[in-house]
């Protein structure tokens, strides 16, 4: 057992492998240091083979959502449903398109978009001929949303589904990769995600033509070049959203250890669960009890029942911080953000309660047993102190 930590213990840190460094060195050695290059090609191939559909390497998950919204035809003034309980990056791209978010509550079972609320909402909107242009689903902390129900509802009303799978690479929904079930999906390689390129993202879609479009838009949308002189012609609006060959090298190496990283994070979660078994008032984020579903446990999350545990969730977060351990509340819902004041919110009780009572604990795949024991000991003691 560690008496005290010399350095701060963070929530989720990068966990590199040697392969990443090798691919980056190759990029330097061969001067493939611009946007395109062999690492990007190899990464797209490897990722595509894993998830089972075309993949486009891009600069971030946020950029991917922006491209995805445009692919499904979202334009200025359109409405897009998105769960309130998520990171701001799930909602902000809606505004980049000049569209309007409609926030919706999550359910207790998955902590993700509530299919029942969605069903009622779309029924009401269909009756007045005001269906939203798209629905964004988030797989929060690595937990797949209840996609069968959500897809069935959205197909009934012909509303396209975009999946924000930024937090769920390595998870499974009925045997498939969350992110590949809707029209478009995105993954993130931000520094604190399951695997990282320091930054970066990936757009996936079953439609090869859409992948081609996303690839074109992500590189300033240059038209074909009939004169053969690179006389750039643009007929569409583009962005600088493509992934660089150096970042792709890091991500490519990380892909080779993805399964190991998922299993390590799941083991971290299992150790917390075992340690908290006899601690009153701590409940883990549930795992969908369906055939072929796997929570990636990107973050280990628990709810803190103040009455039973003896301390509030925020009190516990502050106590851990005093002992050099980073933890965080479950995302602050978008409908409570000053940025999104005045936007429509459907329900809200679940998201609000999860933000007040939910805690995300250190979850890195590189977390040592000793470090985790230190965190566990702090939490168990904190609960006991107040209970006696
Ligand atoms: C990290 C994250 C994103 C954004 O990904 P970036 O690659 O950082 O742009 C989007 N949505 C969710 C839910 C995330 O956690």
pLDDT in tens, 15-61: 999 999 999 999 999 999 987 899 999 999 999 999 999 999 999 99
- CB within 8 Å of 136: residues ≥ 6 apart: 65, 80, 81, 82, 83, 90, 91, 94, 161, 162, 163, 164
Evaluate: CB of 60 within 6 angstroms of ligand 1.
Answer: yes
Structure tokens at 146: 């209840």
Q: Which atom of ligand 1 is nearest to the CA of 192?
A: 1
Tell me the CA distances in angstroms from 369 to 76, 194, 322, 359, one per residue in order. 50, 19, 21, 20
Q: Which of 164, 184, 202, 298 to mutate to test the pocket of ligand 1 (most atoms within 8 A of CB)?
A: 164
Domain boundaries 259-386, corresponding CATH code: 3.90.1150.10
pLDDT exceeds 80 at position 280: yes
Q: Whose CA is nearest to atom 10 of ligand 1?
A: 89
Q: Which atom of ligand 1 is nearest to the CA of 189?
A: 7
Evaluate whether 330 touches 383 at the Cβ level (below 8 Å).
no
Structure tokens at 287: 């795992």
- CB within 8 Å of 337: residues ≥ 6 apart: 88
Q: Which of 57, 90, 244 to mutate to test the pocket of ligand 1 (most atoms within 8 A of CB)?
A: 90
Domain boundaries in the chain?
A: 18-257, 259-386
User: Would you put residue 81 in left (φ > 0), alpha (ψ -120 to 50) or beta?
Assistant: beta
Q: Could you tell me which residues are beta bridge partners of residue 184?
A: 162
Q: Whose CA is nearest to atom 5 of ligand 1?
A: 61
Evaluate whether 351 touches 84 at the Cβ level (below 8 Å).
yes
Evaluate: CB of 68 within 6 angstroms of ligand 1.
Answer: no
Instruction: Provide the pLDDT for residue 3.
Output: 67
Mean pLDDT of the chain: 96
Specify the 3-state DSSP secondary structure of 172. Answer: strand
pLDDT exceeds 90 at position 208: yes
Tell me the CA distances in angstroms from 129 to 122, 125, 345, one per residue in order. 10, 6, 19
Strand 201-204 versus strand 328-329 pairing type: unpaired
DSSP 355: H
What's the CA-to-centroid distance between 318 and ligand 1, angstroms?
A: 25
- Range list of β-strands (E), 130-273: 134-138, 161-164, 184-188, 201-204
Evaluate: CB of 87 within 6 angstroms of ligand 1.
Answer: yes
Instruction: Provide the pLDDT for residue 24.
Output: 97
Instruction: Provide the pLDDT for residue 387.
Output: 62
Please state the separation of Cα 42 from the chain's center in Å.
23
- CB within 8 Å of 303: residues ≥ 6 apart: 282, 283, 285, 313, 354, 357, 358, 359
Q: What does the pLDDT average to over 177-205?
A: 98
Rg (CA), the chain: 22
Evaluate whether 361 touches 301 at the Cβ level (below 8 Å).
yes
Q: Classify domain 18-257 at the CATH topology level.
A: 3.40.640
Confidence of residue 2 (pLDDT cuts 50, 70, 90): low
What's the CA-to-centroid distance between 138 and ligand 1, angstroms?
A: 10
Q: Which atom of ligand 1 is nearest to the CA of 164?
A: 11
Q: Which residue has the tokens 């083991």?
A: 267
What's the CA-to-centroid distance between 171 and ligand 1, angstroms?
A: 16
C-alpha span between 273 and 83 (Å, rounded): 27
Structure tokens at 178: 């969350």
Residue range 370-387, pLDDT digits in tens: 999 999 999 999 987 766
C-alpha span between 236 and 150 (Å, rounded): 32
Structure tokens at 21: 């460094």
C-alpha span between 113 and 135 (Å, rounded): 10
Evaluate: CB of 112 within 6 angstroms of ligand 1.
Answer: no
Determine what percent of the chain falls in helix, strand and coil, rounding each to the nearest 5. 40, 15, 45
Which of 313, 341, 343 minimizes the C-alpha distance to 328?
313
How many residues in the chain? 388
Q: Which atom of ligand 1 is nearest to the CA of 200?
A: 7
Structure tokens at 206: 């079953």
Other beta carbons less than 10 A from residue 224's beta carbon:
6
Evaluate: CB of 163 within 6 angstroms of ligand 1.
Answer: no
pLDDT exceeds 60 at position 154: yes
Give the residue with greater pLDDT, 338 vs 288. Answer: 338
Residue range 56-90, pLDDT digits in tens: 999 999 999 999 999 999 999 999 999 999 999 99
Which of 261, 383, 348, 341 minimizes the C-alpha distance to 101?
341
Q: Which atom of ligand 1 is nearest to the CA of 60?
A: 7
- CB within 8 Å of 287: residues ≥ 6 apart: 143, 293, 294, 295
Specify the 3-state DSSP secondary structure of 194. Answer: coil
């Amino acid at each position: 057992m560690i008496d005290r930590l010399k350095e701060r213990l963070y929530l989720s840190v990068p966990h590199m492998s040697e392969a990443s460094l090798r691919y980056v060195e190759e990029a330097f050695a061969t001067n493939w240091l611009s946007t395109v290059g062999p690492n990007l090609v190899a990464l797209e191939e490897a990722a595509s083979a894993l998830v089972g559909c075309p993949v486009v390497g891009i600069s971030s998950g946020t950029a991917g959502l922006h491209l995805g919204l445009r692919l499904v035809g979202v334009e200025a003034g359109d409405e897009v449903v998105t769960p309130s309980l998520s990171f701001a990056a799930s909602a902000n791209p809606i505004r980049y398109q000049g569209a309007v978010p409609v926030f919706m509550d999550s359910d207790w079972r998955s902590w993700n978009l509530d299919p029942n609320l969605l069903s009622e909402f779309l029924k009401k909107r269909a009756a007045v001929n005001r269906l939203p242009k798209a629905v964004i689903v988030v797989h929060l902390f690595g937990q797949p949303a209840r996609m069968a129900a959500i897809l069935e509802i959205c197909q009934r009303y012909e509303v396209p589904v975009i999946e924000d799978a930024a937090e769920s690479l390595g998870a499974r929904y009925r045997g498939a990769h969350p992110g590949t079930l809707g029209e478009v999906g995105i993954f993130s390689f931000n520094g604190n995600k399951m695997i990282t390129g320091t930054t970066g993202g990936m757009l996936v879609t079953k439609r090869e033509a859409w992948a081609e479009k996303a690839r074109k838009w992500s590189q300033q949308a240059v038209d074909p070049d009939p004169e053969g002189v690179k006389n750039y012609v643009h007929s569409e609006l583009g962005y600088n959203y493509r992934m660089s060959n150096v970042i792709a090298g890091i991500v490519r190496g990380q892909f080779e250890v993805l399964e190991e990283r998922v299993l390590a994070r799941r083991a971290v979660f299992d150790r917390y669960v075992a340690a908290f078994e006899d601690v009153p008032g701590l409940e883990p984020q549930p795992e969908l009890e369906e055939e072929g579903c796997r929570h990636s446990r990107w973050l280990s999350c628990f709810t803190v029942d103040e009455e039973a545990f003896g301390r509030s969730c925020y009190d516990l977060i502050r106590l851990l911080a005093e002992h050099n351990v980073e933890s965080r509340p479950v995302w602050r819902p978008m409908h409570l953000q000053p940025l999104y004041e005045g936007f429509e919110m459907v329900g809200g009780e679940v998201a609000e309660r999860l933000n007040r009572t939910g805690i995300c604990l250190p979850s890195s795949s590189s977390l040592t047993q000793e470090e985790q024991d230190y965190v566990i000991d702090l939490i168990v003691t904190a609960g006991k102190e107040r209970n006696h």
